[in-house]
Amino acid sequence: MRIAFLTAPEGVEQVELTEPWQAALAAGHDPVLVSTESGQVQAFHHLDKADTFTVDEVVEDVSAESFGGLVLPGGVANPDFLRMNDKAVAFVKDFFEQGRPVAAICHAPWTLVEADVVRDRHLTSWPSLRTDILNAGGTWVDEQVKICDHGANKLVTSRKPDDLKAFCEAFLDVFEEEAAGR
């Protein structure tokens, strides 16, 4: 399965990109780094610059149709930038409209809120997003990983880097189940 990993050009939490990426590779999937600009993505360890990663595809040149699923890594600046980019928001919303699975961790649900796809959904996130999710019509839970199937697609969410092992296992299970059903 081709899996889109959508990030802004700067601000993604490195471990929330690299661990799910490696988990996808180890499971035999094809992860693709999608961003709003070509070139490099500057990752961070919290507030400190970390490594850079080469962008594979630019969001304005792709659609959800060419991917089996979407992973949204966190980092505070990353989803804040993405939610201000109309093409990135439309790309995310397209996965929901097409019934394709989505996984988001930490601050990444900010982009989901902007795409107006959390209404009547159950999800978790970094605790500071709780009010945003509630105001957008979602139900926020404080759990290591939450799988929600109250919609056209399955949504997998987790709170923070400490949840990455459970997050990776859950999204891979959901994505593989969806791939088998297509």
Catalytic annotation present for 106: yes
Q: What is the 3-state secondary structure (H, E, C) of the chain?
A: CEEEEEECCEEEEHHHHHHHHHHHHHCCCEEEEEECCCCEEEEEECCEEEEEEECCEEHHHCCHHHCCEEEECCCCHHHHHHCCCHHHHHHHHHHHHCCCCEEEECCCHHHHHHCCCCCCCEECCCHHHHHHHHHCCCEECCCCEEEECCCCCCEEEECCHHHHHHHHHHHHHHHHHHHHHC
Which of the following is catalytic: 29, 106, 122, 148? Answer: 106
Residue from 29, 45, 107, 148 carrying the catalytic annotation: 107
Is residue 46 part of the annotated active site? The answer reads: no
- Known catalytic residues are 106-107
